[in-house]
Structure 1
Amino acid sequence: MNKRNLTSLLLLTFCFFTWAQETINTSNRETDFNFNWKFHLQDDTTLPTTIPIADTNWRDIRLPHDFGVEQSFSKEFEGCTGYLPGGVGLYQKHFKLQGNTDNKNVYVLFDGVYNNATFWLNGKKLGENPYGYSPVYFDLTPHLNKTSENILTVHVDHSRYADSRWYTGGGIYRNVKLITVNKLHIPVWGTFIKTPVATKEKATINLETTVNNQWSKKSKFTLVTKIIDNTGNEVALKEDKLTLKGNNKQVFTQDFSVLNPKLWDTKNPNMYKAVTSIVHKGEVLDTYTTPFGIRSLRFDAKSGFYLNEEPTLVKGVCLHHAAGLVGAAVPKGVWKRRLQALQACGVNAIRTAHNPYSEEFLELCDEMGILVQNEFFDEWDYAKDKRKNYHDRNTDYITRGYVEHFQKWAKSDLTRTMLRDRNHPSVFQWSIGNEIEWTYLHYRYDTGFWKDPNNPQAAGGYWGSAPILSPEEIKANYDAAKKGEHILTETAHKLAKWTRALDPTRVLTTNMVVPQTSMVSGYANAVDISGFSYRNLDIAWANKHWPDRHITINENPGTWDDWKQVLENPGVFSIFMWTGIDYMGERDGDWPEKSGWGDLLDLAGFKYQGWNYFKSIWVDEPHISIGTLPVAKSGFKQTGISGQQLPENSNAYKWRDSNMHWNYEEGEQVVVEVCSNYSIVELFLNGRSLGSRSMSESPDRLFRWTIPFEAGTLTAKAGFGSQKVTAQIQTTSKPVGFTLTADKTILEANGYDVSHFVVQLVDANGLPVKTENAKFEFEVDGDARVLGVDNGARNNIQDFKSNSLTSAKGRALMILQSNLNPGTVKVKAKSEGFETQEITLQIK
């Protein structure tokens, strides 16, 4: 083929893919609606007076899109959301319908738009959705141009950018679908599937299917459902001949039985799907697929949680919904890399702190076998102080959040979220709220700890003390307290009622930060499980006074003491550490630190020593690893004797700051912390034994030595014979080069697939140099796009949307995403003074 013909073929291929995305084929129920949007960042908050808007000069983008993370960090912005601004975004999409759309209804489904969004089609207002985390859909049918161009317009007002205590993102940051159906159809989120019996021998499946007849006359049809297993085999079938009145909607029930089912659990996440069709006179009018898992959930206040009647400990982490350099518009591959890393150290559950996540995230948890506590709200009737949590103490415009809409929108947001999410087997709990007590002021004072209403941080020893008042005394304080217009308990029962009406199969929980008052006030009665937040000291007290209530941990700092509560209290089955991964936000006054709080992974998804620590606790396989930190920066008391173990009251949190290197000043006193699940560990420096430590003298499961630094090799050993494990770190010299690695070298040409590229400085022996840094630049030759760069450091304020940056700990990350065209892509990493490194990708 000559060069001209090849160029013509490539151009024709590009035009075909572009046409395929702009032209909507109504023969499919769902169509990807993420491509070929126009975007403009508006200067003010005014709603446009003319819709649609001339958009010739707007940017061409694809969704999902987060306009907040595209901007630069600045100390002029708020630390509560990571020193990034918000803004007002305008989006438009031009599209045409192809084929016969008579007798069809067309809907558009937005999985998440942050926030205060208003929607139009061809100048006709479709509606609005203030909450940035709830999915919403609209019927386009009355306003569609069936033979000419249509323009869908979305106005997103995130000018109140400090409306949360974390980075929220801004824009149409989740997927969008166009849904085309017959007038006799199953609506969006129109099925609810339950598995009332789920054993290894037999499963019963109950499927509720809503059918919507938008014809004026009654319709006769057959409802056909096939149950398909994960190998594609049909394991059950049901056909029902039905009649539905015109302009009517009805729920129909079908029951199935499956012998020897493949159960869904955290180790074998077997998935099924129910494929439901509406058939009329031999013609299939609509087909709706419901992925699901066969599993049972049981919670017992005395003995804990049972998944498929197997006792299961929940090794959970809290996460926020953004993911570093991609912001809140997180590709599935980015989440997969992070979740795989979490699973590798034993994590089996995620708490969606403090809002619903994307449908795509839940699909991934279904596929990977990760339990999800699905949380609805961080605020109810009253606002939190976005800068310091607690109650609202500022009335400035930028911090006005969801509480402005809660009274009007809460039921709708909760309902839409649950209808979307309730078929996911990964979802095992609904959480109606997070630390809500802060916003009802008297709750904290009822405990007897807080004294000064003007200084809510003055907790009178609350965080380190068990309850000082009896339940009766706290209840008397509660009854006598001055209350506002809204009562926490009443709101909780209202939310619980709505939740149970939509899903009677799962338990309800909430995250209680003042459980002493919550247990006596009636708040705890609204939910099935009381999840305590940083209040391990209240567990024994609560179990004594309310022995029949189920109590566990929904949020905790992530220490050995937290896990001990699970091991020592049979009813306490979970922890959810704060947090599994660093996130941007809650950093007021900490500039340039814009992120933090991660226990296991940093903002770029690199491992902290905490990853090793929890792997040694949670994973039943031999493990040993070494962390180090200078005594002078450790907060520990100087022992003064080489090799002497630190006192038992040593701060158990120090592994969060541990370095995974052995490079210090000669003679500098260094704390060595070894994580292991063996009972005895021996430490060696350059072959010399520095003695052994035993688990019995390590109350936080960290084996510690204090030693003067000496260049060379630090080795930790444990076990015997074939079970012996060894960890080793070595002093490195100056970097002489760097490595470039990619987690994937073959990508799908779908516009979504991603590859993570990591550079790491190395010395002459090929050892990673973690104490020096360099500036790196990435060059991409081929049809792919750079999503951004990061080094994972909490104080990194370099622009994410770039192809160059200075490393941290000698390493940096670049994420590359495919486009729609197959081909070869070459990625080069450059750094002055070092040899350029290159990796070739195939996009197919």
Structure 2
Amino acid sequence: MRRIILIFSLLTQLVWHVAIVAQNRENINFNNDWLFRLGDITDFEKTNYDDTSWRQIDIPHDWSIEGNYSEKNPSGTHGAFLPTGIACYRKHFEYSPKWDSKKVTVIFDAIYCNSTIYINGQKLGFHPNGYLPIRYTLNQYLKPGENVIAVKVDHSKTPSGRWYTGSGIYRAARLQITEPVHLDETSLFVTTKDNREVTVKYELTGVNDKEASAYSMIVRIYNQDNREVAKKRLTHKEITNETTIKLKNPNTWSAQTPYLYTCEIELLKGKEAIDLHQTKFGFRHIEVSSTKGLWINGQKEILKGVCLHQDGGPVGTAVPRDLWLYRLKLLKEMGCNAVRTAHNPFQTDFYEICDSIGLYVVDEIFDGWETPKAEYDYGLYFEENWQNDLETFIKRDRNHPSILFWSIGNEVKKATPETEKKLYDFIKQYDTTRLITQGRSYNGKSVDIIGFNGRGEYLNALVKYHEKYPEKILLGTEMTHNYQTRGFYRTKTLYRLRDFPAPWELERKQSFEDIKNRIYHVEDLSPTEIFPDDNLVYQSSYDNSIVRMGIRDYWKATKDLPYYIGGFRWTGIDYLGESFQWPARTANFGVIDLANLPTDSYYLYQSLWSDTPMVHILPHWTHKVKEGTEIPVVAYTNCAEAELFLNGKSLGKKKMTDDLQIVWNVPYQLGELKVVATDSKKQTISKKVQTAGLPYRINLRTSHNVLSEKHNDAIIVFAEVVDENNVPVPYADNWIEFSSTEHLELIGVENGDVLDLSNNKIKARKAFHGQCIAIYKPVKKGNNVKIKATSLGLIGKEININIRE
């Protein structure tokens, strides 16, 4: 009975809080029913402009990814050869009488880029940064009846970044309705001390000294089960912008135990609750030193991280939350425990996901500073805008427990100690709880943690730096760089500078002879190439397509260095742009490809980083004209030993060595190749590959099967071509067409082939090495919603999903 009463009390309390939010702080979804048109349109901001012919869309919206790839597009290699330009958006909305005497604010999470925003024909302002929130108060311009907000996005000067940036209102927007006196949500800062004490900093907006005595405040802390675990009442005399609350034995937050609390501030005027705001936070204690490394909550950690760009492949930069959730969970299953936002702030729900599933974050604000790195990038606006943008960035993200460190730049062109120092000091005004780093900052004087990119990959580079600067803490902000294409193999080792130099290496006239004795050498897997192919855009999925060091050499060289706290490989997931040349849309750096499909390298990292017993075998076992040819068969495993079987016959049992892979040379014959790994407890785990016959049918699977039409949800549909025995066909390149009922909207198709220049929004895609995907978003609720994949000459497949409200 007591439990029932407690649950009823909690539910009543939550309903009461919801009522407060609905009445006094309302965040209205502002994403639907926008009008869009490409072009620089005269007078588009005026209320009486005729927009009846404009296209109706919802935001988030990236117009560049809707276009066609073309060598003539000025975005070039940086922007994946996709179109940019100028476009205009309009939204009609009704004024609500409930807003009388309230404060009305429009908030755009980000617009790329150079946005000018109007309300009812009046200019609100210009904002060059394409990665940070934009806020404008609308009250003085609003009128009863219909209002029009208009946005011009000027992305005509490109390249504006060194990677694909997208174009448009590509993140969410909302209207925020508050009382004139309210809590400034950007000021709320929750910190913890000794894993017991919570300090809450806050600011009130709109209050004057005469009225101050009328206000009081209640601060509450809820645990992860929404149970109140601490409460503090503050009289008007105690509202001093900071208060402290102690908890008894709180749970801690880490990558292993991502326990989240909620801090809630309720503002009262007399006895009336007039505002309520919440933020999640976590208890965690971080210690870093050059002698002991990184310790979180008293546990030794090494950052097993990846760098990420913000685009979502076929959806461009308008990335649904569900897509990030799927991707980050996939990285976590790989053994990854950290991500670096390269080289700009990401959307808010990215950090919320990292908080909830347990991923550490190095949060990066700038790629460069005063000097542009791409011809029209943020460097043109840095001097005028950096203070406002850096403040917005820190205040937006500082309550996320996932964020370990701030990063103030990456490979900054013409970096000066003066700018580094002023950025460092500015951040410390708003957050003294985190250390600061910078990508490639080994010459830096102000940063707390020295970031190493490519230079850290040379033989003994970190050791030599430590000998010179023994007190410095080192971090691999981009280590290491490797290439791989899903399902593609070479047995001869390729080095970028020697075999497929990057444009900047050609410009610098670098020589492989100059560095060959400074890099990590990876032995060839065969005397002559077994899988000859002249296409150097595709890269081998063995660990033998390298820049300066392979994945295994990276782990061996760095895992035991106490002054090196871990690193972030370039990259975790393939991203659009930054390719070497037309017609490649990108370079295959990702351990997961553009289609969100793991490469073989994914499983190599899993064998090094994950404690869950696993084994993986490569290559596939469907090869043309290879009968009798000795093929290197590689097993990645975190088990002690593995045994290989060909058509049931053992080819030998081998122990794992310092080579961090097990290799058998197997004369090729049709059939089944199976590896059985045995861990230290004598438990076994196996994996097999089989020779496939001709393509016969399509198999489908989905990232999940229940969606919500009211949230930024999406579903990934994975299509794979198999033979009549259900064996995947690795060489299949059939065109697969996707269709669905009216409940879903197709938002992207992809296959991971960086040379496939098909439009990402059409309903068909050619399978690449047997697979491709489609991504849908829900537009209407329904049960047993159908998704179908068909292909000429193959048996198609249909699946059902459900869409709830």
TM-score using structure 1 length:
0.81
Q: How does 1:271-350 map to 2 (within 5 A)?
A: 271-350=260-339
Aligned to 1:155: 152
Give, in angstroms, the shift of residue 669 of structure 1. Answer: 4.3
Q: Which residue of 2 aligns with 1:490?
A: 418
The answer for the alignment partner of 2:473 in structure 1 is: 550
Structure 1 residue matching 2:602: 3-state secondary structure: helix
Cα distance in 2 between the residues matched to 1:599 and 1:738: 26
- Is residue 40 from structure 1 mapped to residue 11 from structure 2 by the alignment? no
Q: Do residues 795 (structure 1) and 755 (structure 2) align?
A: yes
Tell me the equivalent position of 1:510: 438
The 3 A distance-change label for structure 1 pair 584 and 52 is farther
**Cα–Cα, structure 1 residues 672 and 582, in superposed 2: closer, same or farther, change >3 Å?**
same
Which residue among 384, 390, 403 is the counterpart of 2:379? 403
In the other structure, the counterpart of 1:204 is: 197
Is 1:592 matched with 2:583?
Answer: yes
Distance 1:782 1:181, change over 3 A: same
Provide the residue aligned with 2:58 in structure 1: 62
Q: What is the identity, as a one-letter code, of the residue corresponding to 2:567?
A: I
Q: Point out where structure 2 has 5 or more consecutive residues left out of the alignment.
A: 1-20, 482-550
Matched letter for residue 211 of structure 2: K
When residues 493 and 664 of structure 1 are mapped into structure 2, their CA distance, relative to the original with a 3 A threshold, is: farther
Is 1:664–1:709's contact at 8 Å kept on the other side of the alignment?
no
Could you tell me how far 1:552 is from its partner in structure 2?
2.2
**Aligned mates of 1:806, 1:677 — CA distance in 2:** 35
Which residue of the partner structure matches residue 614 of structure 2?
Answer: 623
Q: What's the secondary structure of 1:306's corresponding residue?
A: strand
Alpha-carbon distance in 1 for matches of 2:791, 2:358: 40
Structure 2 residue matching 1:539: 3-state secondary structure: helix
Q: Secondary structure at the match of 1:29?
A: strand
Q: Distance in 1 between matches of 2:326 and 2:621?
A: 21
Q: Structure 1 residue 602 and structure 2 residue 596: aligned?
A: no
Who is 2:391 aligned against? 415
Is 1:566 the counterpart of 2:555 in the alignment? no
Question: Could you tell me whether the CA contact under 8 Å between 1:552 and 1:574 is conserved in 2?
Answer: yes
Q: How far apart, CA to CA, are the structure 2 residues paired with 1:662 and 1:71?
A: 37
Structure 1 residues 630-709: aligned runs within 5 Å: 665-696=626-657, 699=659, 701-709=660-668
Task: Report the counterpart of residue 237 of structure 1 in structure 2.
Answer: 231
Moved more, 358-367 or 666-675: 666-675
Question: Corresponding residue for 1:130?
Answer: 128
Q: What do residues 705-739 of structure 1 show as CA deviations (whole Å, max 9, x unaligned)?
A: 33442211222233278412322111111011111
Q: Deviations over 1:510-542 (max 9, x none)?
A: 1116x3xx1xxxx2x211110111233431122
Q: Distance in 2 between matches of 1:577 and 1:742?
A: 28
Task: Judge which range, 96-105 or 607-616, deviates more.
Answer: 96-105
CA contact (8 A) 1:662 1:714 kept: no
The answer to whether residue 677 in structure 2 is matched with residue 718 in structure 1 is yes
Residue identity matched to 2:571? T
Q: 2:3 aligns to what?
A: none
Q: Distance in 2 between matches of 1:374 and 1:206?
A: 22
Q: Give the equivalent residue in structure 2 for 1:526.
A: 446
Shift in CA distance, 132/46, structure 1 to aligned 2, threshold 3 Å:
farther
CA contact (8 A) 2:742 2:780 kept: no
Q: Does 1:761 align with 2:753?
A: no
CA distance in 1, matches of 2:750, 2:291: 46
- Does the 8 Å CA contact 1:26/1:180 hold for their aligned counterparts? no
Out of 696, 703, 708, the position equivalent to 1:743 is 703
Q: Secondary structure at the match of 1:711?
A: coil
Q: How far has the Cα of 1:217 moved from its partner?
A: 4.4
CA RMSD of aligned residues (A): 2.2
Query: Measured at CA, do residues 92 and 85 of structure 1 come closer, stay the same or move farther in structure 2, by a change above 3 Å?
Result: same
Distance verdict in 2 for CA 1:251–1:119, change over 3 Å: farther
Question: Who is 1:499 aligned against?
Answer: 427
Indicate yes or no: 2:552 matched with 1:581. Answer: no
Contact 1:342–1:600 (CA under 8 A) maintained in structure 2: no
AA in 1 matched with 2:716? H
Deviation of the 1:26 alpha carbon? 6.8
Q: How big is the shift at 1:597?
A: 3.3
Which amino acid is 2:342 matched to? A
1:585, CA displacement in angstroms? 1.1
Q: Distance in 1 between matches of 2:26 and 2:674?
A: 60
* Off by >6 Å, runs of 4+ in structure 1: none
Measure the CA separation in 2 of the matches of 1:68 and 1:491.
Answer: 33
Q: Is the 8 A contact 1:780 1:828 kept in 2?
A: yes
CA contact (8 A) 2:621 2:672 kept: no
CA distance in 2, matches of 1:502, 1:188: 14
Corresponding position of 2:484: none
Identity %: 32
State the alpha-carbon separation in 1 of the partners of residues 168 and 259 from structure 2.
35
Question: How far does the alpha carbon of each residue in 1:612-636 deviate from its partner, in whole angstroms, 9 at most, with x for none?
Answer: 10110011132211112xxxxxxxx
In the other structure, the counterpart of 1:541 is: 464
What one-letter code is carried by the residue in structure 1 that aligns with 2:587?
Answer: G
Structure 1 CA distance for aligned equivalents of residues 48 and 23 of structure 2: 23
Looking at structure 1, the residues matched to 50 and 685 of structure 2 have their Cα atoms a distance apart, in angstroms, of 66
Deviation readout 1:119-156 (Å, 9 max, x if unpaired): 111111111210101112111111111x2111111111
Deviation digits for residues 460-516 of structure 1 (CA, Å, limit 9, x no counterpart): xxxxxxxxxxxxxxxxxxxxxxxxxxx611110011011111100000011116x3x
Instruction: Give the Cα–Cα distance (whole angstroms) in 2 for the partners of residues 217 and 794 of structure 1.
Output: 65
Distance in 1 separating the partners of 2:142 and 2:112: 25
Alignment deviations for residues 626-651 of structure 1 (CA, whole Å, 9 cap, x no partner): 112xxxxxxxxxxxxxxxxxxxxxxx
Give 2:534's aligned residue. none
Cα offset, 1:702, TM superposition: 2.2
The one-letter code sitting in structure 2 at the alignment partner of 1:37 is W
Distance change >3 Å, CA 49–CA 152, structure 1 → 2: closer
Q: Deviations over 1:792-841 (max 9, x none)?
A: 22222111112112111111111111124445421121111222321122
1:661, distance to aligned residue in structure 2 (A): 5.5
Whole-angstrom CA distance in 2 between matches of 1:691 and 1:262: 48
Provide Cα deviations, 1:313-344, integer angstroms capped at 9, x if missing partner. 11100000001111101001001111111110
User: Offset at 1:104?
Assistant: 1.1
Give the whole-Å Cα distance in 1 for the aligned partners of 2:652 and 2:568. 35
Deviations 1:759-792 (A, max 9, x none): 1111121111111121111121232211121112
Aligned to 1:843: 803
Distance 1:377 1:349 in 2: 19
Residue 571 of structure 1, CA deviation: 1.8
- Give distance in 1, aligned partners of 2:278 and 2:711: 24
Instruction: Report the secondary structure of 2:384's partner residue.
Output: helix
Change (3 A) 1:554 1:660: farther
Counterpart of 2:516 in structure 1 is none
For the 8 Å contact 1:674–1:704, the answer to whether it is kept is yes
d(CA) in 2 for partners of 1:144 and 1:46? Answer: 22
Q: Could you tell me how far apart the structure 2 residues matched to 1:178 and 1:756 are?
A: 30
For residues 254 and 53 of structure 1, the distance between their equivalents in structure 2, rounded to whole angstroms, comes to 51
SS in 2 for 1:39: strand
Answer yes or no: is 1:73 the counterpart of 2:33.
no
Deviation (angstroms), 1:555: 0.9
- Deviation string 1:280-323 (CA, Å, 9 cap, x unpaired) is 12111111111111211221121111111211111100000001
Give the Å deviation of 1:28. Answer: 4.1
- Measured at CA, do residues 49 and 144 of structure 1 come closer, stay the same or move farther in structure 2, by a change above 3 Å? closer
Residue 425 (str. 1) matches residue 348 (str. 2)? no
Secondary structure at the aligned position of 1:497 is classed as: helix
Structure 1 residues 80 and 706, CA, compared in 2 at 3 Å: closer, same or farther? Answer: farther
